[in-house]
Structure 1
Amino acid sequence: MVSGAEVTLLVFAKAPIPGKVKTRLMPALDAEQARDVHVALLERTLEVACQAFPAARVQLWAGLAPRHPLLEALAARHGIALHAQPSGDLGQRMHTALSAQRGPALLIGSDCPVLTPALLARCVRALNAHDLVMLPAEDGGYALIGGHRLPARLFTDMAWGGSEVAAQTHARARELGLRVACPGTVWDLDTPRDLERWRMLDAAT
């Protein structure tokens, strides 16, 4: 049986540089405000990650400026490893990071405000009977992907940022004969409308 103590959780995130993160929230927000949203989401994501997994099994993979002081501070606060994202497009970077792990691994971004420890636990349990686990997002992407030694083909020639990535990945997995689990559907915070949705969710809890 696969447990959370055997699975590594990778968190992909950009360094909080104004004008480089959450740009789809602009011009409704200015660059600094968009950066603040990014930071809040990342802080929440790491809190959820470390509730669901031992700190030794959580890794923060940073893009743009991997040694950014805030990222180093967050990694130190949670006692987790901080890595620089490898080179290549998003698919290459994700596959390289996942392939660097010795055992099963899951990868998430920092944009999903509805990710919970319970949902992550369901994803871990799904690894017992499946090769690939995904959490499709309402916009057609996905907020989580992972499994057991996933082939590079799952991450190549994909329309990253488009509305068909999850469907394309699922179809590719079937072509490769992989058993796929999708324990839930979630949503990412990308637009001003999503931000309002998050605020309403917070107000209700």
Structure 2
Amino acid sequence: MSTVAVAIICKTPAPGKSKTRLSPPLRPEECAEISACFISDLSATIAELGAEGDAEGYAVYTPAGSEAALTRLLPSSFGLVLQGEGDLGQRLDKGIADLLARGHVGAILINSDSPTLPKAVLRQAVDLLKSGDRAVLSPALDGGYTFIGLSRPHPHLFADIPWSTPDVYRLTLQRAREIELPIVELAPWYDVDDAASYALLEQELDGLPLAFAPADLARQPAARTAAFVRRRRASLTVAQPAQAGAA
């Protein structure tokens, strides 16, 4: 059976170097901890998809030398592919090319900030990449994309993109049109990378509806992330009465 590579593009978590835009509200050590939770939960979703027989999980990672720490967060079935040098566009382009070079019929790169990304959306992406040359994208709420999938390398998609701006998704669609590459847009999702999106994560984990998400889209449990959120809430609850008593 032809397989699609489904990969998280990530940095191995380390205090002071991971998810720094989440501080505040999180402390630097909590940023590294939640980053590990995100990678663990997203890789578990990918492993579930892989169990269906036509997808294989990977981490496209940095830095070199961090393999042992990263492997502890991943299912045993996952492969590791070291990121290339350069800006994000160059690293995405090389990541896609490296995965396709392993013999897969398609490759999907997912950001590491979306622990609750539904498996059903990835299922659609895998199916689409098995049936022709196209770009498959899930738009992110911040103007970027949660993942991009390709069945062939297309460097033009990543050229001259102002990364980390609200124009990323729009310009990626424009690049695809310029090379007449068919585009399939799937359900949007969100990145957890600042205080506002962390609050959205808490809302989702509390079972509240997400305004942008299709109502029939099955939720992912994101067990490690949910446990982190519960522990943090409990610690804040304990700290608040103590602070009030000291006052």
The answer, yes or no, to whether TM exceeds 0.5 is: yes
Aligned to 2:174: 171
Q: 1:97 aligns with which of 95, 98, 101?
A: 95
Aligned to 1:10: 7
Aligned to 1:36: 33
Measured after TM superposition, the shift of residue 142 of structure 1 is 0.3
Cα distance between partner residues in 2 of 1:185 and 1:62: 24
Structure 2's unaligned 5+ residue stretches are 208-220, 222-247
Aligned to 1:191: 194
- 1:56-90, Cα deviation, whole Å (9 max, x unpaired): 71111111355243202234x43211222111111
- 1:135-178, Cα deviation, whole Å (9 max, x unpaired): 11010000110111131111111101111101000011001101
- Residue 19 in structure 1 maps to residue 21 in structure 2: no
- Residue 50 in structure 1 maps to residue 47 in structure 2: yes
1:61 is matched by which residue type in structure 2? V
Q: What secondary structure, in the 3-state scheme, does the structure 2 residue paired with 1:57 have?
A: strand
Cα distance between partner residues in 2 of 1:88 and 1:193: 29
Q: Is the 8 A contact 2:141 2:188 kept in 1?
A: yes
Taking a change above 3 Å as real, the CA distance of residues 30 and 65 of structure 1, as seen in their structure-2 partners, is farther
Cα distance between partner residues in 2 of 1:59 and 1:131: 21
Structure 1's unaligned 5+ residue stretches are none
Q: 1:123 aligns with which of 118, 125, 134?
A: 125
Cα distance between partner residues in 1 of 2:24 and 2:205: 23
In our comparison, the structure showing a higher alpha carbon Rg is 2
1:174 is matched by which residue type in structure 2? R
TM-score by length of 1: 0.90
Cα distance between partner residues in 2 of 1:106 and 1:68: 21
Cα distance between partner residues in 1 of 2:152 and 2:128: 15
Q: What secondary structure, in the 3-state scheme, does the structure 1 residue paired with 2:72 have?
A: helix
Q: CA RMSD in A?
A: 1.9
- Residue 136 in structure 1 maps to residue 133 in structure 2: no
Taking a change above 3 Å as real, the CA distance of residues 74 and 37 of structure 1, as seen in their structure-2 partners, is closer
1:50 is matched by which residue type in structure 2? A
Runs (4+) of structure 1 moved beyond 2 Å? 64-70, 125-130
Cα distance between partner residues in 1 of 2:123 and 2:110: 13
Taking a change above 3 Å as real, the CA distance of residues 135 and 31 of structure 1, as seen in their structure-2 partners, is same
Between 122-131 and 189-198, the greater mean CA deviation after superposition? 122-131
TM-score by length of 2: 0.76
Cα distance between partner residues in 2 of 1:117 and 1:13: 19
Between 46-55 and 174-183, the greater mean CA deviation after superposition? 46-55
Measured after TM superposition, the shift of residue 125 of structure 1 is 2.2
Q: Is the 8 A contact 2:138 2:188 kept in 1?
A: yes
Q: Is the 8 A contact 1:113 1:198 kept in 2?
A: no
- Residue 88 in structure 1 maps to residue 86 in structure 2: yes
Cα distance between partner residues in 2 of 1:87 and 1:107: 16
Q: Is the 8 A contact 1:173 1:180 kept in 2?
A: yes
Q: What secondary structure, in the 3-state scheme, does the structure 1 residue paired with 2:138 have?
A: strand
Cα distance between partner residues in 1 of 2:15 and 2:65: 15
Aligned to 1:79: 77
Between 164-173 and 126-135, the greater mean CA deviation after superposition? 126-135
Cα distance between partner residues in 2 of 1:107 and 1:66: 21
Q: 2:164 aligns with which of 161, 164, 174?
A: 161
